[in-house]
Structure 1
Amino acid sequence: MNLLRAASTVSLLTLASRITGLARELLVATTFGASAWTDAFNVAFRIPNLLRRLFAEGAFSQAFVPILAESRERQGEEATRRLVDAVATVLGWALLVTCVLGVVAAPVLVYAIAAGLKQSPEGFEAAVVMTRWMFPYIGFMSLVALSAGILNTWKRFAVPAATPVLLNLAVIAAAWGLTPWLEAWGYPGIYALAAGVMLGGVLQLAVQVPALARIGMLPRLRSLRAAWGHDGVRRILLLMAPAVLGVAVAQVSLLINTQIASFLGEGRVSWLTYADRLMEFPTGLLGVALGVVLLPQLSAAQALNDSARYSALLDWGLRLVVLLALPSAVALLVFGLPLVSVLFHYGAFTDGDLRQTALALMGYGVGLVGLVAIKVLAPGFYARQDIRTPVRIAIVVLVLTQLMNLGFVPWLGHAGLALSIGVAALINATWLLVGLRRQGAYTPQPGWLRFLGQVVLATALLGGALAAAAHGLDWTALRQTPWARIGWMVACLGGAALLYFGALALTGVKLRQFARRA
């Protein structure tokens, strides 16, 4: 299996997810703008998303995939099937209890995340109602994470990478189809988005079933007592304990930022959310794709004690991070306003919303290389079943993030919150890299200095071209001619990409060298 081809497949499917996600956000922005209603939806959606990242895609995946890969390599598929059944049984019961508690405790959860919504009683009540509607989403997505871990370990990357598209399509369909009906019945139209989220969760889980059946790994529920006594379940839970803490640290940082933003004034939560959606584009295409492909391969190399392959896989991933994330970060910093204008600047989304979202995007863009690098470096620890080291680093970085908020927020407002996260991501990634080097898990292969020089030179040319394009056109005025604005953006980004890869080719970088077989 060619790892670059596998990562490219995940990236292309993630691209489809991000495009439909941006279409979803564009629909929300043009229909509802940045208001108390959108703040309410974003807060309500953040609660199940927080738990999804905390328990499903975060701690659970970090603990489950290494144990699963080790079981498959050392014990065979029959033993691995029993492990999957046991894990699915324990996870299913835990999710049932969690969802019931979440629906009951919705007012407390909303207040804990965004107490500032109390300034608008209607907004707070809407957030509570939508939290109750959407909380079961965590159950569906946790089971999707279980399925994705299995499929990725079997090198079936396509289905897990494609399923997020279904969420976006479901929300878009619900917004178009349900909003007029809800408003006609006297309900806020924003509630249609919550219904779309739940429909998306059901669809994402449904498409996993045939994919798991094809590889003979469709989970079968067992008795809870037998499942709880399985050795693999206990090992996963032991690994999850520090992993939950590590992911919780990142989510606590997000919660603190949401609280601060909710007190800064109406629309701040939404500006940060729109900017974050744009940031998910490069982090998803690059970081998520690399992490998905690398974690099972690193876990397999660790299970076989193949340290040379382990180090080479990390080196390959880090070179791709530099090659693709560095120019993307520069593009966000110098071309952020044109990007936001083309994607969101329509309907109820005002000129002020445009400028404030662009500022937040620039803050996030500072840390893009770090955010993507973490997706490569953290699996380097997870595959070794060392989750404590990333957790310790994350805790210190959380404290540093809040100290930076004290300095940045009074000066930059909501954009200071984004900048704190960006700088913290760079610190986190650097610390993880140093940790892997000190453990002897990663040894850089020859040629790094030359490679960095080539990429920096090409990135400087790209940045200069995009900066000239950003200042040479009045992107706000082009709102009146949206198709012309889209055409200009495509031409600018396409030309900058040609300039970048042309400069790399002239300096001797051969992209074929990144093709690597598992």
Structure 2
Amino acid sequence: MRLLRSSAIVGLFTSASRVLGLVREMLLAAALGAGATTDVFLTAFQFPNLFRRIFAEGAFNSAFVPLYAGKLEGEGPTEAQRFARQVLSLLFTAMLIFVIVAQIGMPWLMYLLGPGFIENPQTFELAVLLTQITMPYLLMMSLSAMLSGVLNSHGKFAAAAAAPVLLNLTLIGTMLFSGAGGEQMALFLCIGITASGVLQTAWLWFSVRQLGVRLSLRLPRLTPDTRRLIVLGVPGAVAAGVTQINILVTSSIATLEEGARSWLYYADRLYQFPLGVVGIAMGVVLLPTLSGRLRSGDVTGAANVMNRGLEVSMALTLPAAAALAVIPHFIVTALYQNGAFTADAADRVSLAVVAFAFGLPAFVLIKVLSPGFFARQDTMTPMRFAAVSVAVNLVLGLILFFGPLNFLGLAIATSVAGWVNAILLAVTLRKRGLLQPDARLLHRIPRILGAVILMSAFLAIADRHAVWIIDHSFGIPLLALVVVCGSGALVFGGSAMLTGALRISELRDALKRP
């Protein structure tokens, strides 16, 4: 099995995108800080970006990949290409209509997306305008998701994983070279978002043509195959995108407290880094791998794939979650506190980071466990669990937000909802005999936890001596953070090797070319 190698390819490009994303957020924090203008920009970005994450980060693939891959293996490339053309035409038409309707209805839709903007007409109008500018990004990302699904089905993961880099490069370039500020900067950034969508779609279109697959737009028709895609795809989109849906709900409520939308966003970006590198990469690779094993009747092989996915994902996620929980203020101040981003904002973002850190393992587990259902073309069960999770997030979030915790209650609610969803998925897979932890997994997890505890102790000591570390890092907080996190990673790696949680020979073998 080359699961780790394939995940590493996706993770490598996703890491590049997330690193550039952190650079983007650092520039954004310095330029706009955490206030009303930032709240408006983030709302304009998040609505179409929600669909990018739902489509591009696995949800669309949960329905499309098994069907396309089945055509490819069972009926040949010609039938698979015909199916892809049907899907492309239907998807383009549906998303174009949706974007146009959303553009027209945005003044009314904003009452749901940003209820906190209603009291200020100027802020409300700006939010409507900026969201209208970014809406075409949704169309581009829907098409990009389908093209990525084609590439992934052929075992080509690199091009699709590299596409989001274009978004970050576009926005970084806008902030570095536009010379704008305030609302004008927000306007330029929204234009850049839509432009990057066009670039990503063009990149993936070229990659698919290089693969030898020729796609074109036709008159959309509801065929038995496309009906099957819709039946599987809608529940799959809700199920796989539940974390993002919860964040959208949380963000909408947060607009009622000025600055809260921004505080939660900056915290969200920090845990999205390991979620993207580990959870999304594992989810993208697991689905076609599991589908292939099950189509060939290799149930034992499919169970082994799932166990190794859990093992690798937790070995990479738990240290990241621990670091976010133990040294949140060190991380936030080093990355964000500059320019318009104040010390008070850093304190508030740090609180949200801790709350999200406890939910991070659950968010990754959702990405790893969901393919166990999707590969068997069961998207309804995860959708039902997603609905429960959204309800928990909404009810608990409202209770805590209007209680003593304010914005922090929203972050706590999102993490609790994530664990509810992950537990429901795991228990159901276990009951159906689809999740059978083997001896190796049960042997490794406690040892991984032990290595995480040792690393956490090291980070806690480093945090207490943060001023000394920064002074000896040429007074550069970001350099000090790199030193501390790098040292923490070495402590975890060494402890994991000593305890048997990880073995160099297994890593070397897993990363070899087939």
TM-score (norm 2): 0.94
**SS of residue matched to 1:190:** helix
Q: Distance in 2 between matches of 1:37 and 1:192?
A: 13
The count of corresponding residues between Structure 1 and Structure 2 is: 509
**Is 1:112 matched with 2:112?**
yes
2:161 corresponds to: 161
Instruction: Show the counterpart of 2:389.
Output: 397
What one-letter code is carried by the residue in structure 2 that aligns with 1:137?
Y
Deviation at 1:247, TM superposition (A): 5.4
In structure 2, the partner of 1:210 is 206
Map of 1:86-101 to 2, 5 A cutoff?
86-101=86-101
Distance 2:233 2:205 in 1: 25
Aligned with 1:258 (options 251, 255, 258): 251
Is 2:443 the counterpart of 1:457? no
Separation in structure 2 between the aligned mates of residue 192 and residue 502 of structure 1, nearest angstrom: 46
Q: Deviations over 1:172-226 (max 9, x none)?
A: 222333353x88xxx633211101101111111111122101212231222324x
> Among residues 466, 477, 485, which one is paired with 1:473 in the alignment?
466
Distance (whole Å) between structure 2 residues aligned to residue 196 and residue 189 of structure 1: 10
Specify the alignment match of 1:267 in structure 2.
Answer: 259
Q: CA deviation at 1:407?
A: 4.9
**Do residues 493 (structure 1) and 489 (structure 2) align?**
no
Other structure's SS at 2:404 match: helix
Superposition deviation, residue 339 in structure 1? 1.0
Q: Where does residue 7 of structure 1 map in the other structure?
A: 7
The share of aligned pairs that are identical, in percent, is 37
- 1:305-320 superposed matches below 5 A: 305-320=297-312
Determine the structure 2 residue equivalent to 1:328: 320
CA pair 315-108 structure 1, distance change in 2 beyond 3 A: same
Partner of 1:173: 173
Structure 1 residue 56: Cα displacement = 5.7
Output the CA distance in 2 between the equivalents of 1:192 and 1:143: 24
Aligned residue number for residue 144 of structure 1: 144
Aligned residue number for residue 240 of structure 1: 233
Q: Which residue of 2 aligns with 1:28?
A: 28
Aligned to 2:43: 43
Residues 56 and 319 (structure 1), Cα distance of their counterparts in 2 relative to 1, 3 Å cut: closer
Cα RMSD, aligned residues only: 2.3
Q: Which residue of 1 aligns with 2:74?
A: 74
Q: 2-side partners of 1:368 and 1:346: how far apart? A: 27
Separation in 2, partners of 1:478, 1:357: 21
SS at the partner of 2:103?
A: helix
Letter of the 2:353 counterpart: L
Cα separation, 2, equivalents of 1:293 and 1:56 = 13
Partner SS state of residue 212, structure 2: coil
Q: Deviations over 1:80-119 (max 9, x none)?
A: 1111111111111112211211211111122211111123
Q: In 1, Cα distance between the equivalents of 2:492 and 2:477?
A: 22
Shift of 1:244: 4.3
Matches of 2:416 and 2:208, distance apart in 1: 40
Following the alignment from structure 1 to structure 2, what is the Cα–Cα distance between the partners of residues 297 and 197?
A: 33
Decide whether the 8 Å contact of 1:368 with 1:422 is kept in 2: yes
Divergent runs of 4+, >6 A? none
TM-score (norm 1): 0.93
2:422 corresponds in structure 1 to 429
What residue in structure 2 maps to residue 381 of structure 1? 373
Separation in structure 1 between the aligned mates of residue 474 and residue 411 of structure 2, nearest angstrom: 28
CA distance in 1, matches of 2:89, 2:443: 51
Contact 1:7/1:290 (<8 A) preserved: yes
Deviation at 1:381, TM superposition (A): 0.5
CA distance in 2, matches of 1:326, 1:150: 32
Q: Is the 8 A contact 1:63 1:385 kept in 2?
A: yes
Structure 1, unpaired ranges of 5+: none
Q: C-alpha distance in 2, partners of 1:289/1:140? A: 21
Kindly provide the CA deviation profile for residues 340-380 of structure 1, in whole angstroms up to 9, marking residues without a partner as x. Answer: 11111110000001010111111110011111111110011
Match of 2:357 in 1: 365
